[in-house]
Amino acid sequence: MFKDFLKDSFFFTKRYYGYIFGLLVISFILVILAVVILLILGILLAMLMGVDMSTAALLNDKDIFPFLSSRFIFYIILMVLLFIMWALLVLAFIQYPLVKTFIKITRERDIYKNPFGIYFAGIKEKNLMMGLKIVGLGLLLTLIVGPVLFLGIVCIAFSTDAVNNLARLVLIIIGIVGVVLGVYLLLRLMFANAALVDKDIGVLESIRESLKLTKGKMGFVIAAFVYSIFVSAVFQIPLYIVDALFKTETSQESALFVILSLAGFVFYLIAVPYFIVLQYLPYNILNSYNKGVNHQDGQTYNTDEYVIG
């Protein structure tokens, strides 16, 4: 599987290199446009409410308690609600079509697809429910993986302050187990978002789907994950070198530092389409493998039968 992964990663990058760049640029422009519109709406809302945004006006407001006026607090609440609504729109009209496009173009080698057509068709779907599901899945995955990793890291960090060797050993063991278990859960659930977007299923169903895809395939998942990290680190080496060579403030202000920094950034930017392919290709490979196995066995799978194991 890993050999196919490497071969296909170069194949899809070569085929859709320019398209991936174009999609990223379009998405970036749309995000910037969304931010600008949100700022404009915030300014208009402040004008309608008669809220003076200047620091001097806030400090001179006698109703400030302890720092903000009641009117300004109400304005902040409205802006938070507006931001949440705007974030859902960005997820539904920008992130969802982008993820859907990257999944579809890294699926079949023999079928050439129009990435821009897939992307704009995804925008036309107006799938606001998908935005809500993406947020819900993100929160649920954070609640599942976050506490385990946090416990492991905290135990390792505080092990040096333990009163005796036994307590230190216990904390180190708990910390290592927590980190390993957290990484394991992260790898098992890393395809839930792709399954959610690709198959338009529920949040819990997407988690079951990720568990199903990765069951018995952890060798491939770990290899693909490590390879992706390694490739990303390699392309960041020029940035590390520039940072190591120019450590003083005076040198960082020089033209050479700016030129080398830009060169390092461009070098990394060139590889971004390959990173995108590496992110979504494993999901399609696992899907293809599972479909092949299920077809050979002549059986259909029940997602409720798949558990962490």
Q: Decide if 272 is inside a domain.
A: no
Count of domains in the chain?
Answer: 1
Residue 207 lies in a domain: yes
pLDDT of residue 309: 38
> Which pair of structure tokens corresponds to residue 60?
């001179």
Mean predicted confidence (pLDDT) in 273-300: 78
pLDDT per residue as tens digits for the range 110-135: 888 999 999 999 998 878 898 899 99
- State the pLDDT confidence band at 28, using cuts at 50, 70 and 90: very high
Least confidently predicted of 53-67, 89-103, 111-125: 53-67
Concatenated DSSP letters for 73-106?
A: HHHHHHHHHHHHHHHHHHIIIIIHHHHHHHHHHT
Q: Is residue 57 situated within a structural domain? A: no
- Tell whether 135 is covered by a domain: yes
Q: Could you tell me if residue 195 is inside a domain?
A: yes
Q: What whole-number distance in Å separates Cα of residue 17 and Cα of residue 102?
A: 11
pLDDT of residue 35: 93
Token reading at 46: 């402040």
The rounded distance, in Å, linking the Cα atoms of 181 and 149 is 8
Domain assignment of residue 28, yes or no: no
Report the b/e string of 35-44 with b at 16+ CB within 10 A.
eeebeeebee
CB contact at 8 A, 68 and 76: yes
Tell how many helices (H) and how many strands (E) occur in the chain: 13, 0
pLDDT at 280 over 90: yes
Asked if the structure places residue 275 within a domain, the reply is no
122-172, pLDDT tens digit by residue?
998 878 898 899 999 999 999 999 999 999 998 888 887 777 788 888 888
Residue recorded with tokens 């505080």: 158
Task: Provide the mean pLDDT of the chain.
Answer: 84
User: What is the domain extent for residue 131?
Assistant: 127-214
CA atoms of 217 and 190, how far apart (whole Å): 13
pTM of the model: 0.81
